[in-house]
Amino acid sequence: MNNFLVNWIEQYLFFPNILQKLLSISLLPLTLLYCIITTFKRVSAKPQYFGIPVISIGNLLVGGTGKTPVTIALAKEKKDVAIVLRGYGRASKGLFVISQNGRILEDVNTSGDEAMLLASSLPNATVIVSENRIEAILKAKELKCKVVFLDDGYGKHEIFKFDILLRPKDEPTNIFCLPSGGYRDSKMMYSFADCVLKEDVDFKRIVTFKNHENLIIETLPKNTILVTAISKPYRLLEYLPQNIEMVSFPDHYTFTQKDIDTILDKFPFSMIITTAKDMVKLKEFDIHEKLLLMDLEVSVAEEVKEKVNTYIDNLV
């Protein structure tokens, strides 16, 4: 999928122009059918408790709203914690323990970018990928974990869990569900979550830049380009110098040597800044000294941590 089409789809889903709004309205019958199906799945599900507290970090919107960094922020202070996720973009299928108590057991092709980022960022955690989240939760319990964080787990209504929904600071102007808009479920569902975190209110991003030696740098070199494969890549530009050139790929894209060669041919003297999620894939190539990290950490309000701890304490 080329960049133009990816950008067009994201604009259509979240901030459509007039023509895109007309298309959105024309698809409302399909949206109604989609909402009926998702509502039936939700109300017919019987949440099951698996003998271990499960904290779900999710969102109502398609694409990224900070689930992974919020998961890291909430899990990093915990012991005997497991992170369970599907592992989008991975070359593998089935259940894999990516790391156990901080010891990384698989490579990024097996894990996917988000799972490897979690494994690298949480030295005391166990990270498990699986299409079947219930199997992964049971595996975490088998490995003696005491609590599970379910990354992108909102739609898993069959699991008894503490639901945290993340809400973006810039609400989309398109309020419809798929395929007319970018919502996976009605905005009304915010009121049914156990906890709703609004960006810049309940959690804030802390941005630092680091070189290939992991040292903080105050100012980016003038000849720096942004290379990334995340959802809604333009949201990164607010943290970077004006007029910086961006080379973006679809979310979870697996970079190839051809991609790297093309970028180096077009920008032979440039440094490359990227996100931590992209870095776990880009560091596989022989461009270490060209790479700069845009470190997007998250600070979560203390009252949110207290709610999570209270839920865990009540079940343990």
232 — pLDDT class (breaks 50, 70, 90): confident
Asked if residue 23 has pLDDT above 60, the reply is yes
The predicted model scores a pTM of: 0.92
Asked if residue 94 has pLDDT above 90, the reply is yes
Q: What is the mean pLDDT of the chain?
A: 94
| CA-closest candidate to residue 56, choices 127, 126, 119, 147 | 147
pLDDT in tens, 106-155: 999 999 999 999 999 999 999 999 999 999 999 999 999 999 999 999 99
CA–CA distance, 315 with 5 (Å, rounded to integer): 46
Contacts of residue 112, Cβ cutoff 8 Å, sequence gap at least 6: 87, 88, 89, 90, 129, 252
pLDDT in tens, 28-57: 999 999 999 999 999 999 999 999 999 999
List the structure tokens of 24. Answer: 């959105």
Asked if residue 237 has pLDDT above 60, the reply is yes
Q: In what order do the strands lie in the sheet with 195-198?
A: 103-104, 96-100, 126-129, 81-85, 147-151, 54-59, 162-167, 195-198
What pLDDT does residue 199 have?
94
The class that CATH gives domain 205-298 is alpha beta
5 — pLDDT class (breaks 50, 70, 90): confident
Considering only residues 165 and 5, tell me which one the structure prediction assigns the higher pLDDT: 165
CA–CA distance, 25 with 20 (Å, rounded to integer): 9
pLDDT in tens, 187-216: 999 999 999 999 999 999 999 999 988 899
Asked if residue 1 has pLDDT above 60, the reply is no
List the structure tokens of 181. Answer: 């808009």
**3 state DSSP class of 228:** strand
What pLDDT does residue 308 have?
96
Percent of the chain with pLDDT over 70: 99
Phi, psi of 58 (to 5 degrees): -140, -175
CA–CA distance, 292 with 208 (Å, rounded to integer): 10
What pLDDT does residue 77 have?
86
CATH level 3 topology of 42-203+300-315: Rossmann fold (3.40.50)
- The DSSP result for 28-40, as a single string, is HHHHHHHHHHHHH
Write out the E strands in 238-302: 245-248, 271-275, 291-300
What pLDDT does residue 305 have?
95
What pLDDT does residue 2 have?
65
For residue 264, count other CB atoms closer than 10 A to its CB.
15
In the chain, CATH 3.40.50 sits at 42-203+300-315, 205-298
Q: Which amino acid is at 100?
A: Q
CA–CA distance, 7 with 167 (Å, rounded to integer): 21
For residue 37, count other CB atoms closer than 10 A to its CB.
10
What pLDDT does residue 213 have?
87
Contacts of residue 80, Cβ cutoff 8 Å, sequence gap at least 6: 144, 145, 146, 147
CA–CA distance, 5 with 80 (Å, rounded to integer): 43
